[in-house]
Amino acid sequence: MYTKHLWTDRIKWLLRKKKDKECVFCRIVKGFDSELVLKKGEIFVVLNKFPYNTGHLLVFPKRHVENFEDLDEKELIDISITVKKCIVFLRKALKPEGFNIGVNLGEVASASIPHLHYHIVPRFKNDAGFMEVISSTKVMPESLKNTYKRLKKFSHLLE
């Protein structure tokens, strides 16, 4: 039996995380690493660099907040409204049949970035194909750059 290997560039992110003292989302807020930003403001929306599926968005407050209960009332309302807008936005731009939406709180809950953020993952009827089933390997149907270009055309829906 052969050992399966999947080669990615994820190591760059893993190693950088250890070197950088600053949170990746705080860097985006400050204007660094901002090539995939779809919305700026008190709430940010970015295309995930390491998506679970095409159009996987991350939604987070400008202010560095680690715990859900530390969101002030305005941030809680604004982030909820932005998540709703993201659903409308993704329905128009990509036409998914469903969504997975979640927040991981704490390292043991898979929160590898200690800045509160929502994951919005569009789901499609045929988003699992031969490679996913046989090889446990996710195949993305288009590049991040092309997905970003398609989404950017609809970014006015996030305002």
Q: What is the pLDDT of residues 100-156, one digit of tens each?
A: 999 988 777 777 888 999 999 999 987 766 666 666 677 777 889 999 999 999 999
Annotated domain spans of the chain: 35-158
Collapse the DSSP code of 157 into the 3-class scheme (helix H, G, I; strand E, B; otherwise coil) and give the result.
helix
Catalytic residue among 5, 115, 117, 119: 117
Known catalytic residue: 5? no
Cα–Cα dist 133/112, whole Å: 27
Q: Quote the pLDDT of residue 132.
A: 63
Task: State the sign of the Cα–Cα–Cα–Cα dihedral 63, 29, 140, 2.
Answer: negative
90 and 96 Cβ atoms separated by less than 8 Å: yes
Comparing 116 with 13, the larger pLDDT belongs to 116
The CATH number of 35-158, from 3.40.1190.20, 3.30.1540.20, 3.40.50.150, 3.30.428.10, is 3.30.428.10
Nearest C-alpha neighbor of 27 from the set 55, 57, 64? 64
Is residue 61 packed enough to be buried (19+ CB in 10 Å), middle (13-18) or exposed (0-12)? buried
Does residue 17 surpass a pLDDT of 60? Answer: no
Q: What order of strands is seen across the sheet that includes strand 57-61?
A: 37-39, 43-47, 57-61, 118-123, 98-103
Q: The pTM is what?
A: 0.82
What is the mean predicted confidence (pLDDT) over 64-85? 96
The helix or strand, by DSSP H or E, that contains position 51, with its residue range, turns out to be none
Tell me what the pLDDT averaged over the chain comes to.
Answer: 86
